[in-house]
Amino acid sequence: MSGETHETEVRQAETGEVASGAGAGHGARPGVGGRELTAGVTVLSAVVAVVSLLTGALLAVASLVGHVFAAWTSPEALTPGLVGAAMVGVAPGLFAVGRARAWEEVRTLVLPTVIVLVGLFAVSIVNGSELQAAVGGSLFLVLFSLGWVAVLGVLALAAVVCVLGQYRRPAAPRPAATAPMPGWTKPFLAVLGAGWLGIGAGLLALPGFWADFVPWTVGRADAQGLGVWALALGVGVLGALAEDDLTRVRPALIAVPGVAVAAAVVLAVHASKVDWASGPGVALVSLLVGLLSTGLSGEWIRRSRQAEAASPASS
């Protein structure tokens, strides 16, 4: 009897361990922890990715061939092209959200995306007199501007609701970082994030003053639209710095170099419109190079840490 009792206790202990392991894995990958990613955030990210890809490609291609195509009036084709390039560049990162299981893996991209959606909607409403529908441009531009405002309004509201619902999920204890950022990268990220954040805040709050520091001609809505994107990039970079774990920022690592490369293509086509020798021109190049190097080096370091952890020697 004692032998049978002992076997029963062993089986119960093993069953308990398996159940515990399954519960620990539900909603968060090992080493990630936190809140289980909701279906709302996943679906929202996919929808925003598709809309960004289609709309951004339209804006960027029109700019590349020299047409001023935007929801609001713009003095040059460069600014709408940059907005479209940023939309195209961020789409792959948003598609990657669907492969995550924990909110902590995607929040450094999703929260800046919410800033972009809400910010561009607010800029469009505040500068309503500059919309193509108000100015009375071509029928296609008028319909595009109306659709721009309507779609942005719906997506912005959905984004706020989804994020609020996400934070209603219970949070598991956050484990130690599995791939912490090297110490030498942190000052660089702090400067890069603060640079984008400061520029974005200035363009949004005081577009009449800060628009003069943009190294090409922009209108008020242009300046604030660029400010929204700059603010979102700054929040994303500083959020990654606070996260301090490359396994939890992978969608952002995918999006950041895409934004930098797409923006560089548009700037290269319109190079004659940019005052490259000015201080703002040099700063713009530095910030874009910073974005590109951040994404590429972060992904390389993440893969290296992952390979080290999986190697027999580490085991």
Q: Per residue in 80-112, pLDDT tens?
A: 999 999 999 999 999 999 999 899 899 999 999
Mean pLDDT value of segment 24-29:
40
The b-or-e profile of 222-236 (16+ CB within 10 A means b, else e) is bbbbbbbbbbbbbbb
Mean pLDDT value of segment 242-251:
86
d(C-alpha 112, C-alpha 182), whole Å: 24
d(C-alpha 105, C-alpha 250), whole Å: 7
Per cent of the chain over pLDDT 70 is: 86
Confidence of residue 315 (pLDDT cuts 50, 70, 90): very low
Q: What's the pLDDT score for residue 307?
A: 73
The predicted model scores a pTM of: 0.86
Q: Please report, as a single letter, which amino acid is at residue 281.
A: G
d(C-alpha 192, C-alpha 243), whole Å: 16
DSSP codes, the chain: -HHHHHHHHHHHHHHHHHHHHHHHHTTS-TTT-SBBPPHHHHHHHHHHHHHHHHHHHHHHHHHHTT----SB--SSSHHHHHHHHHHHHHHHHHHHGGG--BGGGTHHHHHHHHHHHHHHHHHHHHTGGGBHHHHT--HHHHHHHHHHHHHHHHHHHHHHHHHHHHTTS-BPPP---SSPPPTTHHHHHHHHHHHHHHHHHHHHH-HHHHGGGSSS---HHHHHHHHHHHHHHHHHHHHHHHH--GGG-HHHHHHHHHHHHHHHHHHHHTGGGS-TTSHHHHHHHHHHHHHHHHHHHHHHHHHHHHHHHHSTTT-
User: What dihedral angle (degrees, nearest 10) is formed by the CA atoms of 91, 48, 103, 299?
Assistant: 0
pLDDT for residue 301 is more than 90: no
Taking CA atoms, 297 is separated from 51, 85, 310, in Å, by 29, 22, 20
For all residues of the chain together, what is the average pLDDT? Answer: 87
pLDDT for residue 300 is more than 70: yes
d(C-alpha 118, C-alpha 125), whole Å: 11
Taking CA atoms, 65 is separated from 73, 270, 271, in Å, by 17, 10, 13
Q: What's the pLDDT score for residue 175?
A: 67
- 175 against 62, higher pLDDT: 62
Confidence of residue 276 (pLDDT cuts 50, 70, 90): very high
pLDDT for residue 27 is more than 80: no
Q: What's the pLDDT score for residue 311?
A: 67
